[in-house]
Amino acid sequence: MATRRRVLVTGASKGIGRATLARLREDGYEAIGLARTRPADLADDPAFHCCDLNDLAQTRALVSGLAAQGPFYALVNNAAMAPTTSLDDASLTDMDDAMRVNVNAALVCAQALLPGMRAQGAGRIVNLSSRAALGKVNRTAYSASKAAVIGMSRTWALELAASGITVNVIAPGPIATELFRTASPPDDPKTRALMAAVPVQRVGAPEEIAHAIAFLLDERSGFMTGQTLHIDGGLTVSAVRV
């Protein structure tokens, strides 16, 4: 890579975000991490910033400040929260919280970085959705917000194509992250049924999602926009629905 292009990764303290931060740095990007908490091994990392994405004003101020230091080539909106309530128990607070982090924070980050991308005439936005966007038991708020990410991204792709900016979505299935383990305890019958239904017979690794993100950021991926990649071990093509 001729120059160190700047990339912002949200939710970069663990799981998919942490794996993505590491992969993009290995690939030569100036990858900047953003998360609510700082990992102990990144205590002295000047390119990691703490920010609660529930606080949209704080998020906008921090990301705008980073953009003022120089344009960004790419944005990976990975930060998420996942209420695990049934339809009967889902609250408006669940809905508001999921939309604020999973959708609205992504919007705020994109708006802050778009001027720099437009000025460069090139950019990449990758938004993380989920297989749950197709429907999942006890995920009313999460599924709704992750479906919204897909619709929002398709609209952005149309609006930004002429500026040389692509927008794509990755919708992971079961990935071995802290969020997945919290939402899907291994001893839960629903989790066991899910694992049995995965055609490749295993849970995915965060590094596998990071690899797909790196592909979408590559210069040679510029003809792909408005698409959703389901990386779920074959669940979306399986006859089993759990």
Q: Which residues are catalytic?
A: 142
Helix spans in the chain (H): 15-26, 56-68, 92-99, 105-120, 140-160, 178-183, 189-197, 206-217
3-state helix/strand/coil string of 79-115 = CCCCCCCCCCCCCHHHHHHHHHHHHHHHHHHHHHHHH
Q: Is the dihedral of CA 145, 169, 151, 30 positive or negative?
A: positive
Count CB-CB contacts under 10 A for residue 163.
Answer: 15
Token reading at 237: 């093509």
Q: Residue 234: left if φ>0, alpha if ψ -120 to 50, beta else—which one?
A: left
d(C-alpha 82, C-alpha 32), whole Å:
24
Q: What DSSP character marks residue 126?
A: E
Specify whether the CB–CB gap between 140 and 94 falls below 8 A.
yes
d(C-alpha 33, C-alpha 43), whole Å:
12
Phi, psi of 90 (to 5 degrees): -60, 135
